[in-house]
């Protein structure tokens, strides 16, 4: 260990500023071992830190003497001492000038030495720290001082060539993690010092495409991407709202049609239609429909050519047929709280939230009987009748919003925190809920609507005037 340390220090000396002052020799002793010796300049030379003390003292003493002399000479002048004739004046003057000159020279020299001393002390400290660091780490086998052992290299136990120090591994390795999974199988990385093993652990933590992803079937939500902003509402009515695309569109509207309702106001009836996302982004609706009943909150959805929404100040659900522009069905959602009885944590009369997924139309709400816990009901999309209900054990007013994917409800913890999580999921197939922690971003810090769109395989959200979408990743398809 001491030997390695010595080598490290040698390498350091050779690389550092001290290069021109230190010398290193290598030789073989009789037992075939290498011997390394190095020298540094003699302590009497000014460049060595140890010389600072005594030599400085000497200089100071000489300076003091000179100062005494100078002051005596100048003082003598003033008082006009006996024996100092007029003829002696120029000589004295000369001596004085010389003395002052010498003094200044010495002063300069002293300052230079002091600076040099400081520099050396700093370097000593740096080297001490470097040594400390090196002591905690094995010496790189490929420093110029030690030639690589050919037998080691041949056996593949060496690190990949072209990498010169442990530090450079730490810096270059993470950059490679994303671009190819084959580098993870690089055989040169199989044999590793402790540094490498740490590094490998780090690399394998990065999620890599694993083949379990299935972009056509159902699965559990794995992750939610960063929000993409499509449009910012241009007035206060659009602070909250709902926007959606029909996953199973019906003529005359195609699958690209985007629908939007700004939901601030006491008489929300305007339904804007845009040809596609691009037109939404530009803010050019191709259709504006005036609904026959006012809409409450942000729970509306579109499905198979109908807009479904909760009628204001009621538990009445309405199916509005987009083609005929008329109400096709209306029905009360039994016992559902409304108008601020069981909203999500952000309030806003979000008592009844409608959702569409692969399995059809859903309502998420609560009832007195459920005492504020989230109730999920599957609805008949034609008649709005409840087909089946599930009662979860999570209180509706503790979560910011919910959405349903493949029959599973997901709850978002916060509507304001820019970095929050989806912290709860409930599976209607097994009637089981569980805690999860899937990161979710509220970019604009006031997320009032989140819905899954199964055609786009995205989440659509309305975050503080902004219509945003999120890519999602679902896990392995389940057998069903």
| Residue ranges binding ligand NAG (CB under 6 A) | 394, 398-399, 413, 423-424, 435
Q: Which is nearer to ligand NAG, 263 or 423 (CB)?
A: 423
Q: Rounded to whole angstroms, how far apart are CA atoms 235 and 367?
A: 34
Q: Rounded to whole angstroms, how far apart are CA atoms 202 and 191?
A: 16
Find tokens 């110029």 and name the residue. Answer: 144
CA atoms lying within 13 Å on the CB side of residue 4:
12
Least separation in angstroms between residue 436's CB and ligand NAG is 8
In this structure, the number of other CB atoms found within 10 A of the CB of residue 329 comes to 17
Burial track 262-277 (b if 16+ CB lie within 10 A, e otherwise): bbeeeebebbbbbbeb
Tokens of 156: 């593949």
Q: Which is nearer to ligand NAG, 328 or 399 (CB)?
A: 399
Q: Which is nearer to ligand NAG, 349 or 424 (CB)?
A: 424
User: Which residue, among 291, 294, 325, 323, has the nearest Cα to 310 in the 3D structure?
Assistant: 294
* H-helix or E-strand spanning residue 434: strand 432-441
29 CB-contact burial (10 Å; exposed 0-12 / middle 13-18 / buried 19+): exposed
Q: Which is nearer to ligand NAG, 361 or 422 (CB)?
A: 422
Q: Which is nearer to ligand NAG, 315 or 396 (CB)?
A: 396
Least separation in angstroms between residue 365's CB and ligand NAG is 18
Q: Which is nearer to ligand NAG, 341 or 423 (CB)?
A: 423
Least separation in angstroms between residue 399's CB and ligand NAG is 6
Q: Which is nearer to ligand NAG, 306 or 425 (CB)?
A: 425
Q: Which is nearer to ligand NAG, 84 or 413 (CB)?
A: 413
Least separation in angstroms between residue 229's CB and ligand NAG is 25
Least separation in angstroms between residue 191's CB and ligand NAG is 44
Least separation in angstroms between residue 396's CB and ligand NAG is 11
Least separation in angstroms between residue 370's CB and ligand NAG is 16
Least separation in angstroms between residue 347's CB and ligand NAG is 14
Question: Measured between alpha carbons, how far is residue 441 from residues 25, 225, 456 in Å?
Answer: 61, 8, 19
> Are the C-beta atoms of 24 and 13 separated by less than 8 Å?
yes
Question: Measured between alpha carbons, how far is residue 195 from residues 1, 64, 153, 165, 357 in Å?
Answer: 18, 58, 19, 11, 47
CA 446, 332, 273, 356: dihedral to nearest 10 degrees? 70
* H-helix or E-strand spanning residue 390: strand 386-395
């Amino acid at each position: 260990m001491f030997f390695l340390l010595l080598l490290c220090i040698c390498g350091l000396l050779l690389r550092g500023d001290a290069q021109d002052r230190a010398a290193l020799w290598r030789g073989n002793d009789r037992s075939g071992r290498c011997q390394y010796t190095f020298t540094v300049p003699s302590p009497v030379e000014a460049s060595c830190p140890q010389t600072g003390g005594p030599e400085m003292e000497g200089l100071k003493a000489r300076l003091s003497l000179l100062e005494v002399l100078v002051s005596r000479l100048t003082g003598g002048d003033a008082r006009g001492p006996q024996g100092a004739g007029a003829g002696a004046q120029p000589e004295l003057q000369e001596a004085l000038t010389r003395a002052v000159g010498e003094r200044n020279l010495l002063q300069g020299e002293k300052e230079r030495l002091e600076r040099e001393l400081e520099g050396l002390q700093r370097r000593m400290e740096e080297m001490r720290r470097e040594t400390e660091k090196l002591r905690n780490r094995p010496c790189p086998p490929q420093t110029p001082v030690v030639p690589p052992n050919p037998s080691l290299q041949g056996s593949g136990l060496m690190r990949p060539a072209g990498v010169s120090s442990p530090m450079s591994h730490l810096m270059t390795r993470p950059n490679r993690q994303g671009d190819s999974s084959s580098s993870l199988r690089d055989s040169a990385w199989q044999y590793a010092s402790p540094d490498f093993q740490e590094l490998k652990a780090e690399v394998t933590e990065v999620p890599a495409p694993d083949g379990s992803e299935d972009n056509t079937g159902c699965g559990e939500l794995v992750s939610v991407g960063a929000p993409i902003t499509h449009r910012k509402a241009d007035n206060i009515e659009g602070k909250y709202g709902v926007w959606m695309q029909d996953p199973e569109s019906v003529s005359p509207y195609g699958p690209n049609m985007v629908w939007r309702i700004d939901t601030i106001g006491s008489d929300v009836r305007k339904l804007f239609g845009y040809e596609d996302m691009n037109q939404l982004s530009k803010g050019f609706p191709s259709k504006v429909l005036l609904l026959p009943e006012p809409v409450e909150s942000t729970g509306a959805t579109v499905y198979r050519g109908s807009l479904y929404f909760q009628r204001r100040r009621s538990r009445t659900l309405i199916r509005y047929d987009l083609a005929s522009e008329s109400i096709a069905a209306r029905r009360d959602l039994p016992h559902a709280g409304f108008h601020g009885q069981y909203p999500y944590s952000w309030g806003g009369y979000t008592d009844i939230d409608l959702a569409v997924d692969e399995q059809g139309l859903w309502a998420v709400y609560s009832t007195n009987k459920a005492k504020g816990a989230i109730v999920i009901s599957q609805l008949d999309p034609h008649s709005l009748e409840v087909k089946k209900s599930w009662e979860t054990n999570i209180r509706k007013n503790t979560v910011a919003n919910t959405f349903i994917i493949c029959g599973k409800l997901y709850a978002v913890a916060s509507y304001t925190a820019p970095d929050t999580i989806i912290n709860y999921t409930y599976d209607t197939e097994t009637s089981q809920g569980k805690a999860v922690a899937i990161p979710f971003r509220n970019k604009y810090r006031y997320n009032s609507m989140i819905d899954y769109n199964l055609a786009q395989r995205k989440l659509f959200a309305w975050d503080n005037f902004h219509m945003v979408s999120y890519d999602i990743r679902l896990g392995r398809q389940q057998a069903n």
